[in-house]
Amino acid sequence: MTHVIEAPRADDAASLGPLQLRAWLQTYPCEDAGIDENWIREHRGSSATEEGIAQWREFIEATRQQPDLLFCRVVRSGTEIVGFLCGRAA
């Protein structure tokens, strides 16, 4: 299986929001800290909503306009986005 790392396109926002939520659900549940699926969906679930996807689209566009301040790359396996890395300069 080949993976390709590249800058995201605006239409990738629809995949990034739900992928971010899935990553949180797989990574951060911690009974001792009181973080369960319901907590994650309440506090981070907005990334998979229409509003969250619109924010991803805006961020993707901003990375194109301000590459010295913002960074984002997606990892594709075929046509599916399987990972991403994004950040802001301090």
Could you list the mean pLDDT of each consecutive 10-residue stretch along the chain, which spans 90 residues?
Answer: 94 95 94 93 91 95 96 96 94
* Exposure string over 17-43, b if 16+ CB within 10 A, otherwise e: bebbbeebeeeeeeeeeeeeeebbeee
Global pTM reads 0.85
- Give the model's pLDDT for residue 90: 81
Strand order in the sheet with 3-6: 3-6, 70-77, 80-88
- Give the model's pLDDT for residue 72: 97
- Give the model's pLDDT for residue 61: 97
Please give the DSSP secondary-structure letter assigned to residue 8: P
- Give the model's pLDDT for residue 1: 79
